[in-house]
């Protein structure tokens, strides 16, 4: 994908330049330089511009609409787990993260993988595990990988509470319809140039280290993370969706620095995603005993740096951060 974009970009730029003729040379220049960004922007960043035919969006009900009933109690419990997974589902968590670190505003924010856009899309086939997954199994996946923990049993109180919260939040959302704002906006989101570690490090130091720490290990206050770790032993593991460059770049572009999403250029977002994911993190729980074999089986993708060598270190082999 990255390659085809490369081959296309200059041709597209030339075509634009040729068409615009003498009328607006400066416009053609800027269009050319942001060519790779065009499809991504048009297709995704749209909180305000639902122009796409498929782009129906959805607004979840306000929190104070949670009813005062036994069901409402379960919804509140699910919300508590989602926002403070460490306290409310401790047995299943193996790192310093919480669900809402990556699913912002307690799973309500568009373009931050909101829960209301997920609910109506399950059960679905996932190539990650090669079968049809229920919503419960999808939740289990984020515990196992993103939270580097253990999957709660499908009918356990933790899963029932999370399902109740998500179901409540999705009231009135259509089923089987890909709503605008689902996931992270990565469709057609390509790096103008191949992502680069040194440039990414610069972006990190300038835009991220202030909150996430110079060493990417996050920051704590009173024993709790206020800024989550981006790599290292307390972060998501090598099996998590966020370790893939496209997910990370899209999440970062739309949502980071926190509160200033959309500020980074596409190139900066890809570069810093590569820098972040070129560091060690907990082992993939599907590890077969060999990094090379694990890469072959589960990471056979340009979007995964697992099993590749960066700065002389084999990623996935542990230790150096
Ligand atoms: C480190 C970041 C991270 C954390 C922490 C995390 N997730 Fe996720 N989650 C992701 C990514 C990445 C995806 C895939 C998004 C995509 O494909 O665009 C995802 C997807 C999902 C989906 C499916 C969304 C959809 O539209 O199909 C659900 C449901 C989900 N997560 C629930 C949870 C729950 C519950 C927790 C806490 C127990 C959690 N996640 C913690 C990163 C995270
Ligand atoms: C102003 C502080 C701040 C800045 C600057 C900032 N972040 Fe974050 N970031 C946060 C907070 C807080 C969260 C968790 C959000 C939540 O829980 O609501 C977060 C979450 C994340 C996550 C998902 C959770 C995890 O630990 O993996 C990633 C990835 C991330 N940030 C990357 C970045 C990158 C890359 C930059 C620089 C481009 C950056 N952030 C800049 C505050 C910041």
CATH code, domain carrying 133: 1.10.760.10
Residues 191 and 307 in one domain: yes
Residues 192 and 294 in one domain: yes
Mutation pick for ligand 2 pocket among 204, 227, 253, 254 (CB with most ligand atoms within 8 Å): 227
CA 170 to chain centre: 20
In a domain, 31, yes or no: no
122-137 burial string, b = 16+ CB within 10 Å, else e? beeeeeeeeeebebbb
Whether residue 54 contacts residue 61, with contact meaning beta carbons closer than 8 Å, is answered with no
In a domain, 9, yes or no: no
Round to whole Å and give the CA distance between 271 and 202: 9
Q: Are strands 124-126 and 131-133 parallel, antiparallel or unpaired?
A: antiparallel
In a domain, 198, yes or no: yes
Residues 159 and 198 in one domain: no
- Each residue's pLDDT tens digit, 231-274: 999 999 999 999 999 999 999 999 999 999 999 999 999 999 99
Residues 76 and 111 in one domain: yes
- Each residue's pLDDT tens digit, 50-106: 454 556 889 999 999 999 999 999 999 999 999 999 999 999 999 999 999 999 999
Round to whole Å and give the CA distance between 270 and 239: 19
Round to whole Å and give the CA distance between 37 and 60: 29
Task: Write the DSSP string, 59-104.
Answer: -PPPGGGS-SSHHHHHHHHHHHHHH-HHHHSGGG--SS--GGGTSH
Residues 293 and 194 in one domain: yes
Whether residue 269 contacts residue 253, with contact meaning beta carbons closer than 8 Å, is answered with yes
What is the mean predicted confidence (pLDDT) over 169-185? 96
222-259 burial string, b = 16+ CB within 10 Å, else e? eeebebbbbbbbbbbbbbbbbbbbbbbbbbbbbbbeee
Whether residue 200 contacts residue 272, with contact meaning beta carbons closer than 8 Å, is answered with yes
Whether residue 166 contacts residue 118, with contact meaning beta carbons closer than 8 Å, is answered with yes
Residues 194 and 285 in one domain: yes
Tell me which of 107, 137, 169 is where a domain ends: 169
Residues 257 and 201 in one domain: yes
Supply the pTM of this predicted model.
0.87
In a domain, 27, yes or no: no
Residue 97, ligand 1, Cβ within 6 A = yes
Residues 205 and 306 in one domain: yes
Round to whole Å and give the CA distance between 136 and 208: 33
Q: What angle do CA 154, 156, 157 make, to 5 degrees?
A: 135
Tell me which of 169, 201, 227 is where a domain ends: 169
Closest residue CA from atom 17 of ligand 2: 101
10 three-class SS: helix
Ligand 2, pocket residues at CB < 6 Å: 97, 100-102, 104, 207-208, 210-212, 227-230, 235-236, 242, 251-252, 256-258, 264, 272, 276
Residues 212 and 142 in one domain: no
Residues 191 and 308 in one domain: yes
Residue 40, ligand 1, Cβ within 6 A = no
Residues 228 and 286 in one domain: yes
In a domain, 34, yes or no: no
The answer for residues whose C-beta is within 8 angstroms of residue 238's C-beta and 6 or more apart is 281, 282, 283, 284, 299, 306, 316
Tell me which of 169, 201, 231 is where a domain ends: 169
| pLDDT in the model for residue 315 | 98
Listed residue (257, 267, 255, 277) closest to 195, CA to CA: 267
| pLDDT in the model for residue 19 | 32
In a domain, 141, yes or no: yes
Q: Are strands 313-314 and 309-310 parallel, antiparallel or unpaired?
A: antiparallel
In a domain, 40, yes or no: no
314 three-class SS: strand
pLDDT at 210 over 60: yes
Question: What is the extent of the structural domain holding 283?
Answer: 187-314
Residue 143, ligand 1, Cβ within 6 A = yes
Helix (H) or strand (E) holding 249: helix 245-255
Helix, strand, coil in percent for the chain, rounding step 5: 45, 5, 50
- Share the mean pLDDT of the chain: 87
Domain count, the chain: 2
pLDDT at 8 over 60: no
In a domain, 273, yes or no: yes
CA-based Rg of the chain, rounded to a whole angstrom? 21
Residue 139, ligand 1, Cβ within 6 A = yes
Residues 192 and 305 in one domain: yes
Confidence of residue 6 (pLDDT cuts 50, 70, 90): very low
Round to whole Å and give the CA distance between 286 and 25: 53
């Amino acid at each position: 994908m990255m390659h085809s974009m490369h081959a296309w970009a200059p041709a597209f730029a030339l075509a634009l330049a040729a068409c615009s003729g003498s009328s607006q040379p400066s416009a053609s220049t800027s269009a050319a330089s942001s060519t790779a960004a065009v499809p991504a922007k048009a297709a995704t960043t749209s909180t305000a511009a639902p122009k796409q035919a498929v782009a129906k969006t959805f607004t979840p009900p306000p929190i104070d609409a949670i009813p005062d009933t036994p069901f409402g109690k379960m919804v509140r419990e699910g919300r508590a787990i989602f926002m403070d997974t460490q306290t409310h589902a401790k047995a299943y968590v193996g790192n310093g993260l919480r669900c809402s670190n990556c699913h912002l505003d307690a799973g309500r924010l568009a373009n931050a993988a909101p829960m209301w856009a997920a609910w109506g899309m399950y059960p679905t086939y996932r190539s990650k595990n090669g079968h049809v997954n229920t919503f419960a199994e999808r939740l289990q996946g984020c515990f196992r990988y993103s939270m580097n923990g253990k999957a709660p049993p499908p009918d356990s109180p933790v899963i029932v509470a999370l399902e109740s919260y998500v179901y409540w939040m999705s009231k009135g959302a259509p089923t089987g319809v890909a709503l605008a704002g689902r996931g992270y906006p990565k469709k057609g989101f390509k790096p103008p140039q191949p992502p680069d570690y040194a440039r990414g490090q610069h972006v990190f130091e300038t835009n991220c280290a202030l909150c996430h720490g110079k060493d990417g290990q996050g920051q704590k206050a009173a024993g709790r993370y206020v800024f989550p770790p981006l790599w290292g032993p307390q972060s998501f593991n090598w099996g998590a969706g966020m370790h893939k460059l496209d997910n990370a770049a899209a999440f970062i572009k739309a949502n980071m620095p926190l509160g200033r999403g959309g500020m980074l250029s596409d190139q900066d977002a890809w570069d810093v995603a590569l820098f972040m994911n070129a560091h060690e993190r907990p082992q993939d729980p599907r590890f077969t005993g060999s990094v090379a074999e694990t890469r072959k089986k589960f990471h056979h993708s340009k979007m995964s740096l697992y099993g590749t060598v960066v700065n002389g270190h084999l990623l996935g082999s542990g230790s150096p951060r």
